[in-house]
Amino acid sequence: MSVWTGLRPSLGIGVLALLLASCASAPPQRTQPPLPAAWFGPAGTAPDGADAARLAQWWHQFDDPQMHALVDAALSRNLDVQGALAELRLARAQLRGASAALWPVLDGSGQASRQWLDLGDALDGEDNPLGDLLGGEGNTELDSWQLALQASWELDLFGANRLRRKAGALRLGAAQAQLVAARLAVAGNVAQAYVQARGLLAQMTLLDAGIDNALALERVANARFELGEVTRLDVESTAAQRAALQAQRGDLDAAIAETTFAIDTLTDRPPGSTRAMLGDASDVPRASPSIPLGQPVDLLRRRPDVIAAAAELDASERNALASRRDLFPKLAVNASYGRSGLALGDAISSASTLRSAAAQLTFPWLDFGATRAAIDEADAQADAGFVGLRQAIAAALEEVEIANAQRHARQRQLERRDDALARGEEALRMARRSYEVGISDLDAVLQAQEGALQARRDRLETEVALATAQIALYSALGGGWQADPAAPGGLEAVGRELLDAPVPDRIRQPESGA
């Protein structure tokens, strides 16, 4: 029988396997999620080169060195960033593993053994030539050894391993984007917490000023009471107002402690570091009112969470294709080369060379649906990735629109607050003057004083809300990094920079002056 005759049944099985594999349905085609052509709310001009550079380090637009220092510290020390960095290391290791599957595997082996044979009386006798050859009675040594190299290679005939390697590369890109997304979220959280802390300190300054005004009014009431111009009611009313204001310090102290401790955790520093650094600073930082929004389509390249979701979808689709390629036959080749030897006492010694080569063609024939289940699983993961991408884009659009609306609303509100504050200050001045000369009663002064203090608080709260909205808009636009992956602040550079830096210790002594 010829070789061809023997191979015909195997080839028939192979052709049938190919036909079955070709019947596998292709992955579903997905269209890009729709994006609006323009923003619904007020929009600025498209960012130019300078605006893009400012967006990459938006916290520097607030011109506050303390904010700069806190954000820069959090970008490398925050524990969420360190967790994303560990995921990046994992993705890199998985990519190396997927790449290794494309290449041959070379193994080496060696072994040696020695046995002592007690042949006893079998070698005795003058006419026993084997006994003479092996040296007579006693133990006889039997040595053997073998050295070999084995090579094996599964040929990627239909590209399944290449597709999985591409999926690994895409997941590495997704991990890089998730690392950047973690850094941007931390930058926004630190900046907003810092603004809140500065706002609370400013409220404390306003409260102290209000207490001073209440003390001054209390002294006026006491003086007029001594002169018999007013009753004891005025003295007690002014003292009650002063005591009520002093009691509010406790709430502010607790809020300041809570906010500054949160910043300590975000920056991975010992508790109390931020409070010591802030001191008595009470002004609220604010960025330039001009923040170019660009176009909605820019979010596809600026938002790292959208980039990560798109990369995860691409990786899932590559895996779905690879799962379908598993329906095709697999071809593996194996080869080995080695030497082996045997020695029996001093009489017999031999060595030989071992060579072998083989090819193996494997057909997926009957696995009770395991491969089809893997295909369905990969398709489901791709479907989930597509939904995740749509969710990421929808969330990005929502965040930009809300932050932009908040920013414009707070800017208009701040103008009204300025007018209300000016009128409240003037009303307080007039009421105090009238009370001091005896024209008006104390109730008018107390109401005017409370109204002026509330106007100051309202304006301060609007300042904090405006700065918070500006930070939220910068974050929603994907600010805080370079969209170019190879740029100094891009995906690749950020990953290299943090991978080279050691993970900081969580417990340290407080830093001097911090």
Task: Tell me the C-alpha distance between 181 and 457, whole Å.
Answer: 35
Task: Tell me the C-alpha distance between 262 and 246, whole Å.
Answer: 26
Instruction: Tell me: pLDDT of 367 over 60.
Output: yes
Q: What is the pLDDT of residue 448?
A: 86
Q: What would the pLDDT profile of 162-190 be if each residue is shown by its tens digit?
A: 999 999 999 998 998 888 889 999 999 99
Instruction: Tell me: pLDDT of 509 over 50.
Output: no
How many DSSP H helices and E strands does the chain contain? 13, 4
Contact 506, 268 (CB under 8 A): yes
Q: What is the share, in percent, of the chain residues with pLDDT greater than 70?
A: 80
Q: Which residue shows structure tokens 């800017």?
A: 411
**Domains of the chain listed by start with CATH number:** 35-102+160-327+373-500 (1.20.1600.10), 104-118+136-155+329-363 (2.20.200)
Task: Tell me the C-alpha distance between 331 and 156, whole Å.
Answer: 8
Q: What would the pLDDT profile of 90-130 be if each residue is shown by its tens digit?
A: 888 888 888 888 888 889 998 988 888 765 555 555 555 55
Q: What is the DSSP track for 97-164?
A: HHHHTTS-EEEEEEEEEEEEEE-GGGG-STT-HHHHHHTSSSEEEEEEEEEEEEEEEEE-TTSHHHHH
Instruction: Tell me: pLDDT of 347 over 60.
Output: yes
Task: Tell me the C-alpha distance between 67 and 162, whole Å.
Answer: 46
Residue 2 DSSP symbol: -
Judged by phi (left if over 0) then psi (alpha if -120 to 50, else beta), residue 71 lies in alpha
Q: What is the pLDDT of residue 224?
A: 81
Instruction: Tell me: pLDDT of 18 over 50.
Output: no
Q: What would the pLDDT profile of 22-64 be if each residue is shown by its tens digit?
A: 444 555 666 666 788 888 877 655 555 556 777 888 898 888 8
Instruction: Tell me: pLDDT of 241 over 50.
Output: yes
Q: What is the pLDDT of residue 513?
A: 40
Q: What is the pLDDT of residue 508?
A: 34
Task: Tell me the C-alpha distance between 85 and 248, whole Å.
Answer: 43
265 to 189, 285, 456, 477: CA distances (angstroms): 11, 22, 31, 25
Stretch 440-457: mean pLDDT: 84
Q: What is the pLDDT of residue 344?
A: 77
Position 11 confidence tier, pLDDT thresholds 50, 70, 90: very low
Measure CA 285 to chain center: 27
Q: What is the pLDDT of residue 67?
A: 92
Residue 414 one-letter amino acid:
L
Q: What is the pLDDT of residue 486?
A: 53
CA angle 500, 503, 505 (to 5 degrees): 145
Q: What is the pLDDT of residue 261?
A: 94
Q: What is the pLDDT of residue 489?
A: 54
Residues with Cβ within 8 Å of 113's Cβ and at least 6 positions away in sequence, in order, are: 143, 144, 145
Query: Which of 163, 95, 98, 96 minimizes the C-alpha distance to 328?
Result: 163
Around Cβ 163, how many Cβ atoms within 10 Å?
A: 22
Task: Tell me the C-alpha distance between 35 and 38, whole Å.
Answer: 9
Contact 436, 229 (CB under 8 A): no
Residue 73: in which H helix or E strand, if any? Answer: helix 65-77
The strand pairing partners of 356, in sequence order, are 336
Q: What would the pLDDT profile of 385-418 be if each residue is shown by its tens digit?
A: 999 999 999 999 999 999 999 999 999 999 999 9
Query: Which of 401, 303, 297 minimizes the C-alpha distance to 40?
Result: 401
Q: Supply 35's token pair.
A: 């994006």
CA angle 88, 92, 97 (to 5 degrees): 145
Stretch 72-84: mean pLDDT: 86
Position 425 confidence tier, pLDDT thresholds 50, 70, 90: confident
Q: What is the pLDDT of residue 502?
A: 44
The HSE-up count of residue 349 (CA atoms within 13 Å, CB side) is: 3
Q: What is the pLDDT of residue 156?
A: 85
Q: What would the pLDDT profile of 251-288 be if each residue is shown by its tens digit?
A: 999 999 999 999 999 999 999 999 998 887 668 888 77
Q: What is the pLDDT of residue 137?
A: 54
Q: What is the share, in percent, of the chain residues with pLDDT greater than 90?
A: 28
Collapsed DSSP state (helix, strand, coil) of residue 9: helix
Q: What is the pLDDT of residue 16?
A: 45
Instruction: Tell me: pLDDT of 480 over 50.
Output: yes
The strand pairing partners of 343, in sequence order, are 143, 349
Instruction: Tell me: pLDDT of 493 over 60.
Output: no
